Chains A and B, each alone.
Chain A
Amino acid sequence: MEAKQKSEKFIVPIGPQHPALKEPGHFEFTVDGEIVTNATARLGFVHRGMEKGVEDRNWTQGLYLMERVCGICSHVHAMAYALGVEKLANIQAPPRAQAIRELVAELERIHSHLLWLGVAAHEGGFDTLFMFSWRDRETVMDLLETITGNRVNYSANVLGGVKIDINDAQKDALRRGMDFLEERTKHYLKVVTEDETFLGRTRKIGVMTFEEATLLGAIGPTGRASGVQRDVRVDSPYAGYPDFPVNIVTSDAGDLEARFVVRIKELYESYRLVREIVDHLPGGDLTVKVPRRIPEGEVISRVEAPRGELFYFMKSNGTDKPERIKVRTPSLCNWGSVLTTAIGHKLADMPMILAGIDPCFSCNDRLVMINGKKTETQVWDWEDLRQYGIEYYK
């Protein structure tokens, strides 16, 4: 048999439907033996046209549509939207409402990080950790249901405040839940930093240096695990964060283990914040009145989602409907880091490296334009975009 030429490329396609991740995304890994030499990603399989959809709804209805951009971090989307609308209308929600917003956001972070811990452990073949962390996640899901009335789309926000209040029984339930989760989380931190089998899958795998992370624009816990000191809650505090500040958690290692450690230590920070808010919840009203017609203007609203910085651009034309809403979710910013760190690793490490950024596919699927030549600038007007859309879906 003729020996294979060295220059021959072997590409392993993964996705859109594949067993590693539950959401659709297409990846192509060029391999040399077992070692990945190049990686590309294709997104856009779950584009839902939400940004366009919100233009056809009034400001209040838009809140509930944007809440459904992401199933895991639903509250931060609604919060970013509500904060943006309040900024446009030049009003501010009362302190009690801001504190409750922060409380729900931190509970959501706890549920998201515990979910990720399970998923990442599952990708590494550690199903015991997956089962136990998801069992404990039920505690925080139940707490969210108790205080907001729903397990997933909490709908805690209204324009101008929140619609839920916290009573003493709920405060006690929150304190008990945090005590239980803190104890369990300490155990999980020990497991992920000491279990030899699991460390074989995480230590010095997918290493991203500080320089790379800065260059690729990695954000959220992924960036913080490489030493990037960036957290919207600290850099430009919103909602209740000026009153209940958060301490930034970073690590310099940059490998998968560091991402586990950073996320688990963020959990401690969230437990501390929940306790602090519950103990010192400000009194007063829950809502202020927001006009139906929002004054003309443009605004940027940034919040820290569990996965990193969530960015909203909002434009109002003075009517009761938004003119334009642009959303940039954190997962989109972190794809570059996956594709770069994948090179040089074994194909078997790919699911772990992919899961390492805590990807959320459906929330980042929006129009993505890749500009081949960096020196060229492109300006597309409405007609061009429309034509592009017609051609794309032909």
Chain B
Amino acid sequence: MTIGSMLGDVVKSFFKKPVTEKYPFVRQEAPENLRGKLVWEPEKCTGCMLCVKDCPSNALELIVLDKVNKRFVMKYNLDQCTFCAQCVINCRFSCLNMSEEQWELASTNKEPFEVYYGREEDVKFLLEKASRGEAEGPCKED
């Protein structure tokens, strides 16, 4: 039986650096398979919708502008995403990937949470259409 059995730990820690990190001044490197913000590359997408179907939080919307010429725009609702990477697993053409660098996602307004991926002209076309109030409804499963 002893008294003050952790006193040694306490005294030792006086001479050690604090364990806490000075974030945001010092940033720890993120592990290589960290699941951060979702990134979509439109080139290989066939519009199969498997990513949209299995998303547990309805964070993904694939808007089809022209299926024959493979003109798709992906609307990614970052604030709804749970970062589970099920869409990345589902995609058979490796269009989706979760970034290990973009993980500081806090924001004071809503705008950064609505992310549009696709060809620049397609996104522009869609946003202009939306601003005129005649946005094409997102393609959802029945």
Contact = CB atoms under 8 A, between A and B. Distances in A.
Given A57-B56, A164-B33, A196-B1, A153 B6 contact: no
Contact of A61 (B3, B35, B54): B54
Interface stretch (A42-50, A80-88, A143-151): A143-151
Given A196-B2, A199-B1, A60 B86 contact: yes
Given A60-B54, A149-B35, A155-B84, A128 B6 contact: yes
B1 A194 contact: yes
Given A61-B55, A153-B84, A145 B2 contact: no
B98 A191 contact: no
Interface string A42-66: 0000000000000001101101110
A61 to B, nearest CB: 4
B1 A64 contact: no
A315 B32 CA distance: 38
Contact of B31 (A57, A60, A145, A190): A145
Nearest to A150: B35
A261 interface: no
Interface in B67-120: 82-86, 89, 98
B89 A64 contact: no
Contacts of B53: 58
A300 to B, nearest CB: 24
Contacts of B26: none
Given A57-B56, A60-B86, A158-B89, A149 B31 contact: yes
Name the residue among B19, B56, B82, B85 with the largest chain A CB count within 10 angstroms. Answer: B56
A194 B82 contact: no
Contacts of A199: 1
A129 B1 CA distance: 17
Contacts of A163: 85, 89
Given A64-B82, A145-B31, A155-B85, A129 B6 contact: yes
Interface residues of B, number: 25
A158 B85 CA distance: 10
Contact of A195 (B6, B10, B56, B85): B6
Contacts of A148: 33
Interface in A148-197: 148-150, 153, 155, 158, 163-164, 187, 190-191, 194-197
B66 interface: no
Contacts of A195: 1-6
Interface in B29-52: 31, 33-35
B134 interface: no
A181 to B, nearest CB: 15
A191 B6 contact: yes
Nearest to B19: A135
A132 B4 CA distance: 14
A153 B86 contact: no
Nearest to B32: A146
A58 B33 contact: no
Nearest to B82: A64
B6 A132 contact: yes
Contacts of B34: 145, 149-150
Contact of A197 (B3, B33, B84): B3
Nearest to A173: B31
Question: Shortest 4 CB-CB distances between A and B: which pairs?
Answer: A64-B56, A149-B35, A61-B56, A195-B5
Interface of B: 1-6, 9-10, 19, 31, 33-35, 53-57, 82-86, 89, 98
8 contacts: A60-B56, A64-B84, A149-B33, A153-B82, A155-B83, A196-B1, A197-B4, A199-B1
Given A64-B82, A155-B35, A195-B3, 20 more contacts: A60-B86, A61-B56, A63-B56, A64-B84, A64-B86, A65-B56, A128-B10, A132-B9, A138-B19, A146-B31, A147-B33, A149-B31, A149-B34, A149-B85, A150-B35, A153-B84, A163-B85, A164-B33, A190-B5, A196-B2
